[in-house]
Amino acid sequence: MASITLNTVRKIYAGNVEAVKGISIDIEDGEFIVLVGPSGCGKSTLLRMVAGLEDISSGEILIGDRLVNKVEPADRDIAMVFQNYALYPHMSVYNNLAYGLKNRGIAKSEIDQRVRKAAEILEIGEYLDRKPRQLSGGQRQRVAMGRAIVREPSAFLFDEPLSNLDAKLRVQMRMEIKKLQRDLKTTSIYVTHDQLEAMTLADRLVVLNKGQVEQIGSPMEVYEKPASTFVASFIGSPAMNLIPMKKTALGWEPEQGDGVNFDIRSDASEFIVGLRPEDLEILGDGAPLGAGLAAKVVVTGVEPVGAESYIHGTLGEGGQEVILRAAGKQHYDIGQVLSIAAKQEKIHLFNRQTGKREEEISALQPA
């Protein structure tokens, strides 16, 4: 096992296209780091540079105390698990697991020991004589992970390994990956565009956007205190409501819509208010909750998802769209007007120009 350090790592392709823009990350020995972001944000490119499959344009990558900028992939002591499994179709599961070890000249007895140990960990011992075509998608992914485990590397690199699996199997497999990493205590970097997958797996998240780091932190730190409107809208399902606000002679008003009372004193002339759907309370009598935000929402749609419902609406007629999360089985009609409120400590403020998080709203005084 080993730590991984990235110092101002850049990747510039021909035509001065900067895919990775000076990223620095310190990954501790045994830590599970998840790189998350939309397609094209640079997360897979960054992973491939750590693996040595992509040259870096500038900066440094260290695995442990060793600078690996010019070290070949096979000599970096890492193991990768890919999206497409990359199994040899003509070989048995046993030989798929053993093949890389044979090429490295490891003794036959040790190969057998490692293969059977990995098979036991992954519960694929009964499939060792089968060919990949005789396995399900989840079983094939276990074999791909087993091939990484038998190498006993310093680090695991996962490149969207669950993308080809159905939704139910993805849930099962991500819990298995988390348990596996916890048991083996191997430093791991995991790439995904699925924010739910990222939240459930990571010790720390690295949220990427356009080749840059937007925020690094534990899943709950990132969720509860997003550093920017990008993070706020990307992490969380449904996404955080982002409401551009402007200051008028009558007080704070939304850029689109009406019926909002925003009870906050600030010297700013405009900013963006962020509200998680679960932090908006539906009021039976319409009474505000003291300092914070109160509003009228016109219901435009309802998504029942079992024990709760997602209510889509607007701030006044045709105003800013918002989503609320309502517990229980309460019925709501299209066109119904709801009184909602959010307490001051549940409100997030973002700079209108930069999109970056402002000071804690609790530090601001009610009007």
Per residue in 187-208, pLDDT tens? 999 999 988 899 999 999 999 9
Q: What is the mean pLDDT of residues 340-361?
A: 85
Domain boundaries, the chain: 4-234, 241-363
Residue 367: pLDDT band (50, 70, 90) is very low
| 164 vs 204, higher pLDDT | 204
pTM, two decimals, is 0.88
The yes-or-no verdict on residue 248 having pLDDT over 90 is no
Token pair recorded at residue 344: 């001051």
- Residues with Cβ within 8 Å of residue 179, at least 6 apart in sequence: none
Q: Return left, alpha or beta for 86; rule: phi > 0 is left, psi -120 to 50 is alpha, else beta.
A: left
Q: Is 228 helix (H, G, I), strand (E, B) or coil?
A: strand
> In whole numbers, what is the pLDDT of the chain averaged over residues?
88
Cα–Cα dist 144/201, whole Å = 18
Is the pLDDT at 174 greater than 90? The verdict is no
- Is the per-residue pLDDT at 286 higher than 50? no
11: which strand partners? 20
Helix axes 137-149, 93-103, angle to 10 degrees: 20
pLDDT band at 366 (very low <50, low <70, confident <90, very high): very low
- Give residue 55's pLDDT: 93
Number of other residues whose CB lies within 10 A of the CB of residue 52:
20
Do 260 and 322 form a contact (C-beta atoms < 8 A)? Answer: no
Nearest by Cα to 80 from 32, 162, 145, 5? 145
Residue 92 pLDDT: 94
Encoded tokens for 156: 């695991």
Please list, in sequence order, all residues whose beta carbon lies within 8 angstroms of the beta carbon of residue 267, skipping any fewer than 6 positions away: none
Q: Supply the pLDDT for residue 234.
A: 94
CATH superfamily to which 4-234 belongs: P-loop containing nucleotide triphosphate hydrolases (3.40.50.300)
- Asked if the model's pLDDT at residue 14 lies above 60, the reply is yes
pLDDT band at 360 (very low <50, low <70, confident <90, very high): low
Above 90 in pLDDT, residue 76?
yes
- Rounded CA separation 329/327 (Å): 7
- Higher pLDDT: 166 or 149? It is 149
Q: Between vectors from CA 197 to CA 196 and to CA 199, what angle results, nearest 5°?
A: 65
pLDDT at 265: 67
What pLDDT, in 10s, does the model give residues 89-138? 999 999 999 998 998 899 999 999 999 999 988 889 999 999 999 998 88
CA–CA distance, 318 with 171 (Å, rounded to integer): 38
Neighbours of 13 (CB within 10 A): 11
User: What's the CATH architecture for 241-363?
Assistant: Beta Barrel (2.40)
What does 231-274 look like in DSSP terms, one character per residue? HHHHSSSSPPEEEEEEEETTEEEESS---EEE----S-SEEEEE
> What token pair was written down for 309?
């419902």
